[in-house]
Amino acid sequence: MMSRQTDCCALLEKYRNDDQPVHEVEKLKFTGVGERDVYNVTAAFGDGEKEILAGRVEPRDSEESVVAFFEKQNGSWQLIKDMPVFPLQDPFVTRIDGMLIFGGVEVFRDGSGKTTWRTVLYKGRTVKSLVPFFRGPEGMKDLRLTQLHSGAILVLTRPQGRKGGRGKIGFFLMASLDELDVRKIEDAPLLEDHFADGEWGGANEIHPLKNGNAGVLGHVAHFDEQGNRHYYSMIFTLNPHNGDHTPVEIIATRNDFIDGPTKREDLKDVVFSGGAIRRNSKLILYAGTSDAEAQKIVLNDPFEKYEQL
């Protein structure tokens, strides 16, 4: 099950040769936010009797964002005015022991005044009852966790710098949320032979599979010679006990989505996986495109073939 690292160009060539069908693609429309953009959204999820999603909201010329919640009404996603708004980027949600776990990236200044970031986690029965319960290591985005069918909690990390370069994925298991701590995250072993040198990636959502493994939805990225960023939506599956994993495979590129504006020219070719729903052998993927919009695309479920193993 262990894979060798493959660079983005080879992954992209394989994706194009496989020619996987796109069944549906749709731009998500948002109201109640004025002229601000909404992107890097979660998949739709239940909150009481409502189906809602969370999205990153910010002006086109700024990265000072908040995360707000939206409800589908008359074909658009309407801002829910009586929901909390969080000073975060790139939201995600999961459920553990029946509790809603919500998180995002907090950008702040460290003791020396340098801008840095960390993942902040909240929990509650509903969005309105969310309270913070954990702050991850400084400098780490894309910290993700979920509860597997066994009841164990899988945590995926993404260190950068001396340990992770531009960003690699680590993993560990816990019996309960009480075991979560910064040292354990920093010490998590990295997946071997995962991303090519000079490239990076991260987990965006974890899907427990019937065979006990974890399906990981994420992104893989690289710079081109002009310094432009290229982000692709990807998946792989992981044995949470020993770190064996299937090869990274691209499941969507910017060309699969509807054309539209970009925050900056170097972000034109960016797809950021937000979350997905598996249903009837299809994957409904919610993603941010070009750091300016949110879209939904329907693909064949890429995890299904691995679930039989």
Share of the chain above pLDDT 90, in %: 92
Is the residue at 96 inside a domain?
A: yes
From CA 296, how far away is CA 302, in angstroms rounded? Answer: 16
When divided into structural domains, the chain yields a total of: 1
Is the residue at 13 inside a domain?
A: yes
pLDDT confidence of residue 2: 46
257-277: pLDDT as tens digits:
999 999 999 999 999 999 999
Give the CATH number for residue 261.
Answer: 2.115.10.20
Q: Please give the distance of CA 54 from its chain centroid, rounded to a whole number.
A: 12
pLDDT confidence of residue 199: 94
* pTM for the model: 0.96
Is the residue at 227 inside a domain?
A: yes
Query: Token digits for 54?
Result: 């969370």
Is the residue at 55 inside a domain?
A: yes
137-147: pLDDT as tens digits:
999 999 999 99
Is the residue at 1 inside a domain?
A: no
Range of the domain at 194: 8-307
From CA 247, how far away is CA 10, in angstroms rounded? Answer: 12
- pLDDT of 1 strictly over 60: no
pLDDT band at 13 (very low <50, low <70, confident <90, very high): very high
Question: What is the rounded average pLDDT for all residues in the chain?
Answer: 95
Which residue carries 């249903």 as its tokens?
279
Is the residue at 261 inside a domain?
A: yes
Tell me how many degrees the CA angle 82-291-24 measures, rounded to the nearest 5: 85
pLDDT confidence of residue 304: 96
Is the residue at 212 inside a domain?
A: yes
Is the residue at 2 inside a domain?
A: no
Phi, psi (degrees; rounded to nearest 5) at 16? -65, -35
